[in-house]
Amino acid sequence: MNKSNMYIYLASAFLAVTSFTATAVAQEQPKDSLAHYLNVALENNPGIKSQKLAYEAFLQKIPQAGAYQDPELSMEFYTKPMDIVGGKNIGNVSVMQMLPWFGTRKSARVEANHMANMQNEQYKETIDNLTLQVYTQWYNLQKLNEQLQNNQENRKLLQQLEQLAIRKFSAPSNSAKVTATPKVSSNTASGATASASSGMGGMSMGGVAKASAAPSASMSSMSSGSGMSEMGGSSASGMSDVLRIGLELIEIENNIESLHSQIKAEKAKFNALLNRDATKEVVLGQIEKVNFLYSEEDALLAIELNNPMLGMITEEGLAYKAKAEMDRKMSYPMIGLGVQYMIIGKTNDMMLSMGDMNGKDMIMPMMTVSLPIFRKKYKAQQEEGKLWWKSSDNKFQETYNTLKSEYYGYKSQLDDAVRVVTLYEKQTTLAQTTYNLIIKEFVTGKSDLTNVIQVQRQLLDYQLKKAEAIANYNTMVASIKKLLAVRDNTQNIQ
């Protein structure tokens, strides 16, 4: 097997090992467990628990708002019974219950219910914010993990390239040049011998032979010197190739260590969102583009109907509307119903005894009515509620316009991310093909190491940028889904 065939064989083996390693790494990737981690975050995150408890606390305000006022109990006792007709008045016990105008309690419950719904929308907003944080942190971890794998794969490529350079440097390429020089001297000597055998005289021809032999010897020595020079140059070139690959390996090793450190820090942030130990292991899946199938019309409609921020403003407006109705009914009289029990003792005065009525206790029904005659106060309350209601309508429109602007901004970034991902996918494919070809050219001596390292750097750069572009694309999708309030993997929300 000659040198050229040997290098081609080594290059083919090198490419086969590279392809097998990349396939094996892809097959070993664990499944995406983002849904599991998201559920863990929703169950354990303190912020979510706090908002849920706040919502449950607001629910308890509904029965409070619809309750009657506490009845009033009054008791009167005389230290000295007072003579009245029919006996002596010892004391009185009365109970009074105030009743608001018809429908007032219902309006109060409606207001409290809308306030609770407003808190529920805030709870949903907290869930959406946490979901976006988990998604963003997850995609960032996947990006760093993908970059780590790319650097590790490029380290393997450089190590295999180093082996090729060492074999090329160690190959016996100079022995052929050394043995070629005596061949030229032997041919010259045989020519001289033939001339001597056919010549006119031995002495004169012997002199010619000697004269011819001298240039042959000098040629031999020049040839030998030239071969030694080429061998030294080839050795120096081969050793410089090995050293340059070593420099590239050192840089790759530094990148790998830096990525390990970044991944450790980002995993700690991710575990903090899940409210668990910072050193807890996080199993990452291979980064892939997520699907986004919403048209502009559907997206804007979903924002208007589902976005929690708009939901909060809507419920706030409805609460103000219910409060204005309650204030209107509070401006009407309140009715108080009660009963008074009079404790009567017997009297000895025949004029006051009243026969059989002497000493008989009495029960007296009572009724009171409030007189809301100061109308200015009640009108101001009603006007206040109407103004807050109108204010919430304007706030809704302003917030909706802001959310639409955010949507268009995210959509533009999403479209750019799609183009960038497609670009880097094409560049990565072309760079990989170019790298495979230039490796073959390098081992056959048609290209130098500078071109190989340049293409290898381009390939690594495209791989890293592709992972970053996919992570940015997925993050934009998650941001738009937050605006649309799309909760694919979250728990049921009331």
Nearest to 324 by CA among 110, 140, 42: 110
pLDDT tens profile 87-113: 888 899 999 999 999 999 999 999 999
What local confidence, expressed as pLDDT, does residue 236 receive? 55
Computed over every residue of the chain, the mean pLDDT equals: 80
Domains in the chain: boundaries: 3-67+100-334+370-484
Side chain identity, residue 278: A
Asked whether 81 and 89 are in contact (CB, 8 A), the reply is: yes
pLDDT tens profile 216-264: 433 344 334 444 344 444 555 567 778 888 898 999 999 999 999 999 9
Q: What whole-number distance in Å separates Cα of residue 436 and Cα of residue 430?
A: 10
What local confidence, expressed as pLDDT, does residue 43 receive? 93
Nearest to 290 by CA among 136, 426, 478: 478
pTM listed for this prediction: 0.74
Asked whether 223 and 192 are in contact (CB, 8 A), the reply is: no
Is the pLDDT reported for residue 193 higher than 50? Answer: no
Average pLDDT over residues 395-399: 95
Q: pLDDT band at 62, cuts 50/70/90?
A: very high
Superfamily of domain 3-67+100-334+370-484: Outer membrane efflux proteins (OEP) (1.20.1600.10)
What local confidence, expressed as pLDDT, does residue 434 receive? 93
Is the pLDDT reported for residue 142 higher than 90? Answer: yes
Average pLDDT over residues 26-33: 45
Asked whether 482 and 184 are in contact (CB, 8 A), the reply is: no
What local confidence, expressed as pLDDT, does residue 219 receive? 38
3-state secondary structure of 11: helix
Asked whether 176 and 454 are in contact (CB, 8 A), the reply is: no
